[in-house]
């Protein structure tokens, strides 16, 4: 009886892990270039499946924005968080970012989102490369208008 319960729980666990639509495991964001108030990033995402590139691209865009807002993009003009937890508090910041991403408000600030390449790195894992351009000036203005960050000089 214990064996059957264990087997049932194991199968449920396996099936629940397979339920992630894009299979996004993780992503790494790095700086490409900056021009005309747009920061261009390179995002390597690691996925379990290569079937739904569009959905994986959306998740990758979300990761790029979350990185920019929470921690900044290393070696870029925006290497510190755009939203400091000291300014509005950690809970409020994380809540705002979660709503911002869920409502897909970030899409307004995406200037370019391009799928570059995909490589199979091991059985059942793929490395996908995306280039994403984010209009940081418009994003800053939006965050200032929402009262999430203060404008410069105040």
Q: Give the angle subtended at the CA of 12 by the CAs of 7 and 14, to the nearest 5°.
A: 95
Element (H, E) at 10: helix 2-17
Residues 15-34: b if buried by 16+ CB within 10 A, e if exposed: eeeeeeebbbeebebebeeb
pLDDT tens-digit series, residues 31-82: 999 999 999 999 988 877 767 777 888 888 999 999 999 889 989 999 888 8
pLDDT for the residue numbered 23: 57
For the chain, the structural domain boundaries read 21-145
pLDDT for the residue numbered 4: 55
- 41 closest CA partner among 27, 55, 53: 27
pLDDT tens-digit series, residues 99-153: 999 999 999 999 999 888 888 887 778 888 899 999 999 999 999 988 888 776 5
């Amino acid at each position: 009886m214990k064996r059957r319960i264990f087997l049932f729980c194991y199968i449920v666990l396996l099936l629940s892990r397979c339920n992630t639509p894009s299979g996004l495991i993780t992503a790494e964001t790095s700086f490409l270039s900056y021009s005309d108030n747009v920061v261009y990033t390179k995002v390597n995402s690691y996925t379990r499946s290569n079937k739904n590139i569009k959905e994986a691209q959306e998740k990758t865009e979300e990761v790029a924005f979350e990185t920019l807002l929470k921690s900044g993009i290393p070696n870029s003009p925006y290497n510190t968080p755009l939203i400091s937890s000291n300014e509005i508090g950690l809970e409020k910041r994380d809540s705002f970012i979660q709503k911002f991403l869920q409502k897909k408000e970030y899409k307004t600030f995406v200037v370019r989102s391009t799928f570059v390449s995909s490589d199979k790195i091991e059985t059942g894992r793929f490395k996908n490369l995306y280039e994403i351009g984010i209009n940081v000036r418009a994003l800053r203005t939006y965050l200032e208008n929402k009262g999430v960050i203060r404008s410069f000089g105040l």
